[in-house]
Chains A and B, each alone.
Chain A
Amino acid sequence: MEIVKKTSPHLRRPNARVVRMMRDVTIALMPLVVFAIINHGLNAVFILLAAVLSMVLTEYVYYQIQDLKAGNGFTFKNKHCTIYNFSVITSGLIYGLTLPDQTPITVVIIGGVVGVFLAKLIFGGMGQNIFNIAAFARVFVVLSFGAAVGYSQFVDANAGATALGILNRNIVDANVTNSYALMTMFTGIGLPGSLGETSAMLILVGGIYLLLRRSFDVVVPLTYIGTVFVLSCAVMISQGIGFWYPMTHLLSGGLIFGAVFMATDPITSPVTRPGRIYFAFGIGVITFFIRLFGNLPEGVVFAILIMNMFVPAIDYAKWSHQKFNLRRLSIFSVVIALTILITIVGVNYAG
């Protein structure tokens, strides 16, 4: 028996483990995976497998090469790989679930490889990345292979009506067919579209699981969804249209999926509660503005990536703070009021 000296504290929280947190996210995604497979059959299986494997293998190969370069011998099990704590598996699954079911496998793989490499590995691996890996890969795919991802099928399939599309056409003088198609793609249960984004219900089940396990920070999705809801309600009131309008906003375009699974990625969010509220509020505002005034697909992923860039600024030591106080709260309220005002004015002008 030997007495060893350590520094305090001498206890650790039993449930605080990275693997528990990341595994929980994977578990929370499982209903969506099943749903995707039921809806899209083998297509879904292949896309998800390609998404996960491309990310896992890229990371594995990368770290093996790094190790060999550093002069360490080859060992099959590489200790740097985050497959052991589910981190890369989670990224891969989320990425896969955001893809439309017609995405060619090669595109999935290229997106996965590039995503993990550019968004994660060159930043220094887990914990160092600035951008959400899944969102980055997703946007990369859209920008590089927009046509190949095959939006066109859905335009016709759902030409019936999506409320958001119609509204967009009325309000924004944009390419109507285009925005209409993009919005349709993400809308409602039972519609073709991205593999995992269409079932708000199953996403919420996953979210509740994560909440009960305290494996994500519920403040982020609440603020994010709440922001979009409030802004769309403001538009609803100022335009005198029905309640379907805000609801459509909530249930379409992968908003809930992004809110629950992507914006909550702790690595790419600020580290204080007020910071996370500003961050989620920012994502909400950007998402909404992209939808209203912009012409971009994937408002959600873009918004998340844009706010990812602001995380270091939010966390800047000079003004980051652990708690709200009266002054900060009042400033923030003013910002919220201004945003609502801008939205209403903007909608009126655009209309």
Chain B
Amino acid sequence: MISRAKKVSDYKELNTTLPVTRYVDPETIYINLTNNRCKTYELNVEKGDYIRVAQIIGERSGGFFKQPIYSTVSGTVGETVKKHDGTGVEAEFITVKNDFKDELCRNVVDRPDSVIDAFTQADFVNIVKEKSIIGLGGSGFPTYIKLDTKEKINTVVVNAVECEPYLTSDYRLIKDTPEPVIKGLIYAMKALNAPEGVIAIKKTKIPLIEVLERELKRFKEYNIRLAKLEDYYPQGWEIETFKNAVGITVPIGELPMKYGIIGFNVSTCAAIYEAVKHNMPVVKRHFTINGDAINFPQNYRVRVGTNVRDLIKLSDGYVDDAKQINFISGGPMMGVSMPTDDIVITPTTTSILVLKSTDYKEEPCVRCASCVYSCPAGLQPVQIMNAVKRNDKTALANLEAKNCIECGLCAYVCTSKIHVTDYVRQGKQLLG
């Protein structure tokens, strides 16, 4: 085929229709002490201590910032263990034995609206920082740094596009609880003194549009609109979303704040709401388990710190005829392949995909240019691949390989089933 990939085959019908199942609390919860941004930590509880939900049990730090570590469960502190988190890296976790009482820490008290109304940007930033809110779409970037921008923001965009195939956790979040999302957006608008809020969503997700339109009627006094976007991949890429929802093209590599826009993921918005209104850190999140190698694809509401193995069990395990599977954290286009299924859900883990592993037979490149036509970053992946093979750094620089966003489309469309994306990654590395 010689054509641009517009729509990546979607597999969402598998589980958008299913409601979120109630989750049976696991016996053991693992609380992450380190993550890919923070490598060191200090713990202020000891083995045997009793801790409550939303209690600060330590502080992790990395580079220029620190994050308080929150407990997501009430129970007894156990050992520190090493396990993989959703980025595929080994991190340190502390085990907590769940007492199933869900006892809240005393500092969890609702803020009255009158107090929130009087908040300044600095107040919002402080709360979000103190509650360790990070980009829950998977980036893990500390939200307070974004909220703390000194630029003049005109538009706050909620990215509800969820363009990756198979993923439906944002879908369910909006469908089940639209209110926290909208309120989170309103708080962000207040914090940034932004006149306009936009919820960017695919126009094909009609049930969600209905829900949001109905809900938005209650917030007439705010200038919030829905941007119904075309259904293609990677519509959810920030630059693409901004371009289509607000009409502003942010050049690759520049901060959108400079152009008066700021974007938050749906779950992040809901988390901002929880932090500001209920003074809660991220304790639970929506989570998708999907793929053709799992018996019962499902959306879950999980406690952060749950081991994915528990969920696999709830999903009736793997299908019998799967000899080799890929265990992927994130979506099929950009997700990271895990070495094991012993993964602990951290706030940024959005989903797990279990796919039957397929080995594609590569043929010589036929220069069909589908990869060039499809690349959203405006690159020429096939040329980058050839430059990598020749080890030609000048050409790589000219081809701007560093602008690749690793969306995976070039390998997705390749007529010859070449893993072009891997070559482009190599190209980026060669450029250093």
Contacts and interface: CB of A to CB of B under 8 A. Distances in A.
Interface of A: 1-18, 20-21, 85, 125-128, 213-217, 266-273, 276, 315, 317-318, 320, 322-323
A130 to B, nearest CB: 11
B415 A4 contact: no
Contacts of A126: 363-364, 366
B355 A323 contact: no
B332 interface: yes
Contact of A7 (B322, B340, B363, B422): B422
Contacts of B414: 12-13, 16
B34 interface: no
A323 B372 CA distance: 10
A4 B363 contact: no
Interface in B413-432: 413-417, 419, 421-422, 425
B369 A276 contact: yes
A192 B425 CA distance: 55
Interface in B347-383: 353, 355, 357-358, 360, 363-370, 372-373, 375, 378-380, 382-383
B380 A322 contact: yes
Nearest to B293: A1
B120 interface: no
A272 B333 contact: no
A91 to B, nearest CB: 13
A273 B368 CA distance: 11
Contacts of B413: 13, 16
A5 B365 CA distance: 24
Nearest to B420: A9
Given A16-B370, A214-B1, A266-B2, A9 B417 contact: no
B168 to A, nearest CB: 16
Contact of B367 (A2, A6, A266): A266
Nearest to A266: B368
B302 interface: no
22 contacts: A1-B325, A2-B323, A2-B325, A5-B337, A7-B425, A8-B330, A10-B337, A11-B165, A11-B332, A13-B5, A15-B1, A16-B1, A21-B366, A21-B368, A85-B363, A125-B364, A214-B2, A266-B369, A272-B380, A322-B379, A322-B380, A323-B378
Contacts of A125: 364
Given A10-B328, A21-B368, A1 B334 contact: no
B55 interface: no
B249 interface: no
A21 B364 contact: no
A271 B383 contact: yes
B318 interface: yes
Given A6-B337, A10-B332, A271 B369 contact: yes
Interface in B307-352: 318, 322-328, 330, 332-341
Interface stretch (B59-67, B200-208, B273-281, B404-412): B404-412
A330 B162 CA distance: 38
For B5, B327, B341, B411, which residue has the most chain A Cβ atoms within 10 angstroms? B411
Please provide the 8 A-B residue pairs with the shortest distance between their CB atoms, ordered closest to farther: A9-B408, A127-B364, A317-B395, A317-B398, A271-B369, A10-B332, A214-B3, A5-B337
B325 A267 contact: no
For B2, B3, B365, B419, which residue has the most chain A Cβ atoms within 10 angstroms? B2
Given A1-B318, A1-B323, A315-B383, A11 B372 contact: no
Given A6-B357, A8-B336, A13 B369 contact: no
A6 B417 CA distance: 14
Given A3-B339, A21-B1, A273-B373, A12 B366 contact: no
B9 interface: yes
A20 B366 CA distance: 12
B387 A317 contact: yes
Contact of A267 (B322, B327, B367, B425): B367
Contacts of B336: 8
Contacts of A215: 1-2
Contacts of B318: 1
A127 B411 contact: no
For A18, A214, A269, which residue has the most chain B Cβ atoms within 10 angstroms? A18
B399 interface: yes
B248 interface: no
